Amino acid sequence: MLYLVGLGLSDETDITVKGLEIVRKASRVYLEAYTSILLVDQSVLESYYGRPIVVADREMVESNSDEILRDAQNVDVAFLVVGDPFGATTHTDMVLRARELGIPVRTVPNASIMSGIGAAGLQLYNFGQTVSMVFFTDNWRPASFYDRIKENRDIGLHTLILLDIKVKEPNLENLARGRKIYEPPRFMTVGTCARQMLEIEEEKGLKAYGPESLAIGAARVGGKTEKFVAGTLAELCDADDLLGPPLHSMVLLGRRTHELEHEYVREFAINKENWDRIWKAEYQGK
């Protein structure tokens, strides 16, 4: 059987009891390592699980899944996913490939950023569509996410923005010369996300969210050093020092924010007076 095992959000102890039992009896264990990361090293996982782990990067999962699924009709294979296997990043393609080969599949769920973000004090049923923000380059500034943010804004719902990570990304210049050399890992911060959001706002001219719009920066959600910082988008552009190391996410507040949500989130505000002023002017009673 192929097991898709969620690892949770933080460290080696977040795995469920059911998931740990599967990992310890599986013939092979793979760790999907390109859509997100845990806050501990592979060696820590191997020590805690008592098993060697094969790191499955994007190339392996997308181009060499046959190796992962090899002989899974006869032995147990565990495919470990940070968060939940069907949370922020789905692995339906892996399941479909297994089905084609007649391999049974079982999923072991766990916490993901989609549920963990509730620790910021916002009610999960007040969230709309989740979007992703990628690193802009000089000649590539994708803005397809904006329409979904605008739709959420129009009906008053919060928007969770998942921030880009670059792990084992090839250096394009070297790739063109036939040399496969990878760039150092990069993790988008809330500050970068807020600045890019305001850049797209200026280009679009639709004013779904401006510099004075309220948002929450989240760091290392579910971990021991979990941190939330609330403020305007302009304030969050310079909040990276307050948030600390990756991984980061960001939430744009919807106009239907409940009074209880406001009261909870206010404690995270960079400037409480400014937060209250904007809340009363733009959000209260909406």
Task: Kindly report the pTM of this predicted structure.
Answer: 0.90
Mean of the pLDDT values across residues 23-36?
A: 88
Binding-site sequence positions for S-adenosyl-L-methionine: 9, 84, 87, 112-113, 163, 221, 248
The residue out of 60, 94, 111 marking a domain boundary is: 111
Average pLDDT, the chain: 90
Residue 170, pLDDT score: 59
Residue 171, pLDDT score: 59
Residue 88, pLDDT score: 66
Same domain, 94 and 107: yes
Mean of the pLDDT values across residues 95-102?
A: 92
Mean of the pLDDT values across residues 278-285?
A: 81
Whether residue 247 contacts residue 40, with contact meaning beta carbons closer than 8 Å, is answered with no
Same domain, 19 and 140: no
Same domain, 62 and 201: no
What is the tens place of the pLDDT at every residue in 205-248? Answer: 877 899 999 999 999 999 999 999 999 999 999 999 999 999 99
Residue 140, pLDDT score: 86
Same domain, 88 and 121: no
In DSSP terms, 133 is beta-bridged to: 163
User: Which residues have C-beta within 8 Å of that of residue 238, sequence separation ≥ 6?
Assistant: 191
**Could you tell me the CATH number of the domain that includes residue 107?**
3.40.1010.10
Enumerate the H helices of the chain as residue ranges.
17-25, 42-49, 58-63, 65-69, 92-100, 113-116, 145-154, 172-176, 190-204, 233-236, 240-243, 259-266, 272-278
Binding-site sequence positions: 9, 84, 87, 112-113, 163, 221, 248
Q: Give how many domains the chain has, as a whole number.
A: 2
The residue out of 83, 111, 139 marking a domain boundary is: 111
Same domain, 257 and 129: yes
Structural domain that includes position 38: 2-111
Same domain, 81 and 103: yes
Q: Which two structure tokens, joined as six digits, stand for 82? A: 């940070």
Residue 252, pLDDT score: 97
Same domain, 153 and 261: yes
Q: Which two structure tokens, joined as six digits, stand for 125? A: 């049923």
